[in-house]
Amino acid sequence: MARGLIRRLVFGLIAIAGVIVLAFLLEFVVPGDPARAIAPRATSLQVLANIRAQLHLNQPLIVQFAGYFGNLLRGNLGTSYIQHQPVAAVIGPRLLTTGVLALAGVVAEVIIGGSLGILAALYSRVRALIGAVNLTLLAVPIFVLGLLLLLLFGFKLGIAPVSGGAGPAELVLPALTLGLIGAPWYAQIVADQMQESLASSYVRTAVSKGLPDSYILRRHVLRNVLSPAITMVGLDLGSYLSGVVTVEVVFVWPGIGLLAVNSLHNLDRPIVMGTVIVGAVAVVFFNLVADVLRMFVDPRTREEP
């Protein structure tokens, strides 16, 4: 068990390193002159040359990368071109903000999707209806859904805040949006797994032992559904993060996603690279967490194949 985790950790570190290299390389393809970005109103070429020298922009690539990597290891992510602050200081506080939204979204999608899946598996009458609901949710782009929810609950009904912010009231709609978008996937997984469980031999054994239906559902069926659902959370991370970024833009939620998008438009490269690296680390970390959780829940995955 530990061996498997260590192996995944190593792969994760390699992936992060790869991302760092890629991000760094990409910077040199991006059009635009960083010196100009920092000092847009400078007119003297000398000033620009000084800035370039300061940023070591004239050095060979390898040297620049070495310098950057060295800084990274010391926790120094560079300085924002626009805000003139250390990148780490800009990104840091927003980590928690995004984290809260991400967590709320996962909870929402598991609850909504799981409920839909369970209902669909147990009650054949609603199965077609839930299928239609799922199809509709799949067809909606996340930002359209977010805007429609904002329109309905924010503007028409007036029960949700419409201006940006980071409080609990502002959390509801974006989390709900994330939840609804992710729900169909969980509904499918949960429904399939439940149908398989309900038809399985061990449920028949449980019935033969005279156990009550609700007990069987709780103790036998749902437990077997948990493992694939948790795997799903882990696999989903890439597209989930994308969703978080979009939702932050739609609802003006002051997290890393909004920061990344704005910085890209402003060509504030250090921040962009910083967010990309932070994103990569987050993905690797949460994948590991999902693996650990899955081993915890499904004892069959504990032995290494």
Partner 1 sequence: MSAVTSGGSGASPPGLGAAPRRRAPWLRAPAADAAGRRAIRRWPWQLVAGVAVLVVLAGLAIAAPLFGSPTHQDLIHGLGPTGLPVGPGPGYPLGADLLGRNELVRLVYGIRVSLIVAIVSNATSIVIGAAVGLFAGYFRGPVEQILMRFTDIGLALPYTLAGLVIAAVMSAGMTRVIVIITVLFWSYPARLVYGEVLRLRTRGFVEAGEAMGARGMAIVRRHLAPHVTSMMIAYSPLNAAAAVAFEATLSYLSAGINPPTASLGNMISDGQAAISYRPLLVVAPGLAIMVLTLAFLLVGEGIKAYNPDLRRLSWLGG
Partner 2 sequence: MTAELAEREPALEVTDLNVRYGRMHAVRDACLIVPAGRVVTLIGETGSGKSSLALAAARLLPSSATITGRVAIAGRDTSGLGSGEFRRVRASLLGCIAQDAMAALNPVVPVGRQVGELFTQHAGMSRQQAREAAVAALAQVEIRHPAAVARLYPHQLSGGMRQRVMIAMAVALSPPLIVADEPTTALDVSTQAEILALIGELRGRMRSGFLWITHDMGVVAELADWAAVMYAGRIVEQGPVETIFDAPAHPYTEGLLRTRRDLRSGPVGAPLFQIPGSPPSPGEEPAGCAFAPRCSRATQVCAEVDPGLEPVRRDVGEGGSFGHVAACHHPVGRSAGASSGLAQGRSVEGQRP
Judged by the rule CB under 8 A, the positions of this chain that interact with partner 1 are 15, 18, 23, 26, 29-31, 120, 122-123, 127-128, 130-132, 134-136, 138-144, 147-148, 150-151, 155, 162, 184-185, 187-188, 191-192, 195-196, 198-199, 203-204, 207, 213-214, 216-217, 221, 237-243, 245-246, 249, 257, 260-261, 264-265, 267, 272, 276, 279, 283
Contacted entry of partner 1, partner 2, none for residue 79, CB cut-off 5 to 8 Å set by kind: none
Stretch that binds partner 2, among 86-94, 175-183, 212-220, 272-280 (CB under 8 A): 212-220
- Phi and psi at 180, nearest 5°, equal -65, -40
Among 39, 47, 211, 282, indicate the residue that binds partner 2 (CB under 8 A). Answer: 211
Handedness of CA 194, 236, 242, 5 (dihedral sign): positive
Task: Count CB neighbours of 85 within 10 A.
Answer: 11
Residues 301 and 295: their CA atoms lie apart, in Å, by 5
- Angle among Cα 76, 78, 83 to the nearest 5 degrees reads 125
Among 74, 156, 209, 265, indicate the residue that binds partner 2 (CB under 8 A). Answer: 209
Task: Count CB neighbours of 80 within 10 A.
Answer: 22
Q: Please, which contacts does 46-49 make with residues 24 or more away whose CB atoms are closer than 8 Å?
A: none
- Report the nearest approach of partner 2 to the CB of residue 121 (Å): 16
- Report the nearest approach of partner 2 to the CB of residue 22 (Å): 40
57 near partner 2, judged by CB under 8 A: no
- Report the nearest approach of partner 2 to the CB of residue 106 (Å): 22
- Report the nearest approach of partner 2 to the CB of residue 224 (Å): 6
**Among 160, 182, 166, 164, CA closest to 108:** 182
Among 46, 124, 163, 208, indicate the residue that binds partner 2 (CB under 8 A). Answer: 208
- As a whole number of angstroms, the longest Cα–Cα distance in the chain is 87
Q: Report the SS3 class of residue 55.
A: coil
